[in-house]
Structure 1
Amino acid sequence: MLNNEMMKHLNLKNPIIQAPMAGGITTSNLVAEVSNAGGLGMIGAGYQTPIQTREQIREIKQLTSNPFGINLFVPNEFNVTPEAVQSANELLHPIRKQLNIDQTDSFDIPEYKKIQESFIEQVKVVIEENVSICSFTFGIPPNEVIDELKQHNITLIGTATTVREAIENEKAGMDMVVMQGSEAGGHRGNFIDGHQESLVGLMSLIPQAVDNVSIPVIAAGGIMDGRGLMASICLGAQGVQMGTAFLTCIESGAHQVHKDAILNAAEDQTTFTRAFSGKWARGIKNKFIVDMLEHELTVPEFPVQNLLTQVIRKTGSGQNNQEFMSLWSGQSPRLAKSETVGILIKNIMAEAKNINLDR
């Protein structure tokens, strides 16, 4: 059961992929330790410049000789007016005041064309640095990008939240697809279906996806241990992608306040919000989310809102104030532990093998 097409293709000892969490969580040490332990470490390069991406790839190569991958955000067109930015700034002004942030409300709306150019540059870096695995979130990249990566024998992994999105990933040429259940922490990967329509629980999602695509399915959302791994395998997945479980590991670059918030949270304390970034994401409820609740549908789209709240999140982190940080977490925080990557993976595999033997 624990030796399949996905593992052979990715050259893995264990069917565990570390979720590519952008924003500094996937340190070079975290990525390398996952790969060294027989899983697949993944760089979350969504917010990186091409130069930062290249530097981290080279750093990880010094730390592991095993395969590792990288995740890129597929740029989405957005339509944000100066009036919308001004309105959002007015909403955020009282929160900035609470945090003693002295900042003018002047703001340049990012250009979609420049974001697109940066994405293409990152793709070039992936090719030039010979990274063998590349995954995508927030959609499917253009055909020419897929073709170019495939010409360099790079394994492509898509992200989907519904069967329809999984089918589109396969049609586009993805070699595998991560099925993101509604339990997953962080940003939602939906790109065809709306937010509500994409909230399918993982136990429902896996078997339906497996029955409708021929590429390997990777399960993601609330998986923290050997039980979650084996449940996913029994439902037809060939591996799991885990985020929150790795976020609280010693090697993770997450802020200690973020780690502690997860380690002390219960399953009913996470919620969805688009107030932080303009894109729906699951995290632990705090004052910022509650204060912005009635306005979250009107804030600018990603990445504009993400840039507008950046100073609030940064200041909250600097002040060790979890009420103003984006505390992304899946729905299984009670299962989170503070331990090394090596111990986490060893325990997951030991538990999975015991369950397999019992069967």
Structure 2
Amino acid sequence: MQQGSLFFGKDPLVKELLGTELPIIQSPMAGVQDSALAIAVCQAGGLGSLPCGMLTIDTLLKEVARIKAATDKPYNLNFFCHQMPSYQQETHDKWQQLLQPFFDEFALQCSSQPNGASRMPFNHDIADALEPVSPPVISFHFGLPEKALLQRVKSWGTKVISSATTVKEALWLESHGVDAIIAQGVEAGGHRGMFLTEDITTQIGLAALLPQVVDRVNVPVIAAGGIADSRGVQAALALGASAVQVGTAYMLCHEAKTSPLHRQALKSANAEHTALTNIFSGRPARGIVNRVMKDLGYIHMSAPAFPYASIEMTQLRSVAEKHNIDDFSPLWSGQNNASCKEISAIELTKQLMAF
């Protein structure tokens, strides 16, 4: 079969939507990539993505400039759009007390940092900076920004996509004007895009979620979660997806900035065991199980709200990693990490369509 014929023969509207040669979107993965990975995927014919939720505006613009200088292909900028809660000192006091034994191991003094959260939601300041750029695609996690901000983005001609982890979330996104919906199966690595519920028992596998979403919405659906090779791509398209989003499979690619410790974990036998946890950031996210997840429990009710839980854990992570210890590192990974390859992202993107 000619590469891409199943995809574009079935849903030519998505080629118009994404402007790509292939129905492959590289998942934005904060902490393990920069523009280099996005550029490689764009050059291969997919939609490269840049995670922007932890970037300053200055760094964001520099990264976008690098993408535009390297390729004239479409690209995607990804942002969080969570509601930023207030810092609750009492909550952090309890959390720090719980973590104190770990700090004692390193003779480390835990410090309170009310302004230490690094994940900021999309806002008008970011929009001011991006308006002259008019990015081709912007994707959101945790729902959508408020109406005026969303309409501002769409006025640039930018296509807007966002993640849904349930049918209810997919219907909500469609009713609020997205151009496409990412159906995020529970297999996916990193943060769950859930925004209408905090109940992780509502999170289901892609094979169950995808056809339900496809049957209920009238916009293109992008499949995400556990897709790491051409068989996964074929299966997703057969279940009604118009495109796929692939993340974990790219984490060992040459262009990824995955740390040596994280790469080591992905290649180890421990990678077979992943779980959803909220202890690193305050929101459920899938990663390779490590010591702190086992010791505290994967989901802990005392964890501060997103993104503040990262303040204390980052302090432990920083000192532990200096000793080559990943006990306190968020080793984000999907369930299908056995398919990770140490090759160019260009080659991997082409292999995903080798059917």
TM-score band, normalised by shorter chain: over 0.9
1:54-107: CA deviation from partner (whole Å, max 9, x where unpaired): 111112222222111100000324355211111111222222232443x34233
Query: Mind listing any 5+ residue stretches in structure 2 that lack a counterpart?
Result: 1-5
- The residue correspondences of 1:35-114 to structure 2 (distance < 5 A) are 35-78=42-85, 80-101=87-108, 103-108=109-114
Q: Is the 1:195–1:280 contact (alpha carbons within 8 Å) kept by the matching residues of 2? A: no
Distance 2:190 2:138 in 1: 19
Deviation at 1:125, TM superposition (A): 2.5
SS of the residue corresponding to residue 272 of structure 1 reads strand
Deviation at 1:195, TM superposition (A): 3.1
> What is the RMSD computed on CA atoms of the aligned residues?
2.1
Match of 2:263 among 246, 259, 264: 259
> What is aligned with 2:3?
none
> What is aligned with 1:219?
223
1:224-247: CA deviation from partner (whole Å, max 9, x where unpaired): 000000000000001111110111
Deviation at 1:151, TM superposition (A): 1.0
1:260-296: CA deviation from partner (whole Å, max 9, x where unpaired): 2112246740011111111111101101111221882
> What is aligned with 1:17?
25
Q: Is the 1:187–1:282 contact (alpha carbons within 8 Å) kept by the matching residues of 2? A: yes
SS of the residue corresponding to residue 69 of structure 1 reads strand
How many residues are paired up?
A: 347
> Which stretch of structure 1 is more off in the superposition, 190-199 or 158-167?
190-199
Distance 1:86 1:44 in 2: 31
> Which stretch of structure 1 is more off in the superposition, 3-12 or 308-317?
308-317
Query: In proportion to residue count, which structure has more helix?
Result: 1
Q: Is the 2:276–2:299 contact (alpha carbons within 8 Å) kept by the matching residues of 1? A: no
Q: Which amino acid aligns with 1:2?
A: F
1:313 aligns with 2:321: no
Distance 1:97 1:62 in 2: 48
Q: Which amino acid aligns with 1:33?
A: A
Compute the TM-score of the two structures, normalised by the length of structure 1: 0.91
Compute the TM-score of the two structures, normalised by the length of structure 2: 0.92
Residues 1:88 and 1:56: Cα distance change in structure 2 (over 3 Å): same
Distance 1:216 1:47 in 2: 28
> What is aligned with 1:286?
290
1:16-60: CA deviation from partner (whole Å, max 9, x where unpaired): 10111112x221111100100001110111111222211111122
Distance 1:41 1:218 in 2: 14
Distance 2:236 2:91 in 1: 42
Query: Mind listing any 5+ residue stretches in structure 1 that lack a counterpart?
Result: 354-359
Distance 2:143 2:323 in 1: 35
Residues 1:131 and 1:319: Cα distance change in structure 2 (over 3 Å): farther
> What is aligned with 1:132?
136
1:231 aligns with 2:239: no
1:181-238: CA deviation from partner (whole Å, max 9, x where unpaired): 0000111100002332431110011111011111100000010000000000000001
Deviation at 1:167, TM superposition (A): 0.7
> What is aligned with 2:13?
5
SS of the residue corresponding to residue 121 of structure 1 reads helix
SS of the residue corresponding to residue 233 of structure 1 reads helix
Residues 1:142 and 1:13: Cα distance change in structure 2 (over 3 Å): same
1:149-174: CA deviation from partner (whole Å, max 9, x where unpaired): 11110000011000110111111110
Distance 1:56 1:308 in 2: 28
Match of 2:331 among 327, 343, 346: 327
Distance 2:278 2:250 in 1: 23
Residues 1:295 and 1:220: Cα distance change in structure 2 (over 3 Å): closer
> Which stretch of structure 1 is more off in the superposition, 180-189 or 82-91?
82-91
Distance 1:75 1:120 in 2: 14
Q: Is the 1:75–1:119 contact (alpha carbons within 8 Å) kept by the matching residues of 2? A: no
Q: Which amino acid aligns with 2:261?
A: V
Q: Is the 1:53–1:125 contact (alpha carbons within 8 Å) kept by the matching residues of 2? A: no
SS of the residue corresponding to residue 351 of structure 2 reads helix
Q: Is the 1:288–1:323 contact (alpha carbons within 8 Å) kept by the matching residues of 2? A: yes
Distance 1:269 1:294 in 2: 12
> What is aligned with 2:190?
186
Residues 1:266 and 1:233: Cα distance change in structure 2 (over 3 Å): farther
Distance 1:55 1:235 in 2: 39
Match of 2:168 among 164, 169, 177: 164
1:175 aligns with 2:184: no
> What is aligned with 2:148?
144
Residues 1:309 and 1:140: Cα distance change in structure 2 (over 3 Å): same
Distance 1:321 1:175 in 2: 43
